[in-house]
Amino acid sequence: MKIDFTGIEWTDSAIGLRTKTFERDAKQIRLAEFSSDFREIDWCDKNHIGYVVAGEIEIDFEGETETFNPGDGIFIASKVKHKARAVTENALLFLIENV
């Protein structure tokens, strides 16, 4: 099945975060664009599998910070607490997640 992201509208999910989401069969595929204005107040503990398309993003794993650049894959298991922030003005991620 082909998913045409050009036909999906951006949704503002939080300040500094907008997404395009396709859902089916308890899974979702998202394009997530983080700006440098994005701040996570609470720790996220959901699983994420993805790819950095553009920009640079840092993910804080409860004090251990890792930087992800274009071309890097991301695998975060469920229940692993984390917070993300864009290092560059914008960072675009392609994510596959459970709903």
58 strand-pairing partners: 67, 85
Answer for the pair 36, 46: CB distance below 8 angstroms, yes or no. Answer: no
pLDDT of residue 95: 97
CA distance 80 to 41: 16
pLDDT (tens digit, 0 to 9) for every residue of the chain, 99 residues total? 899 999 999 999 999 999 999 999 999 999 999 999 999 989 999 999 999 999 999 999 999 999 999 999 999 999 999 999 999 999 999 999 998
Which tokens belong to 53?
Answer: 């398309």
Identify the CATH number of the domain defined by range 11-98. Answer: 2.60.120.10
What is the pTM (predicted TM-score) of this model? 0.92
pLDDT of residue 85: 95
Domain positions in the chain: 11-98
Which tokens belong to 17?
Answer: 């975060």
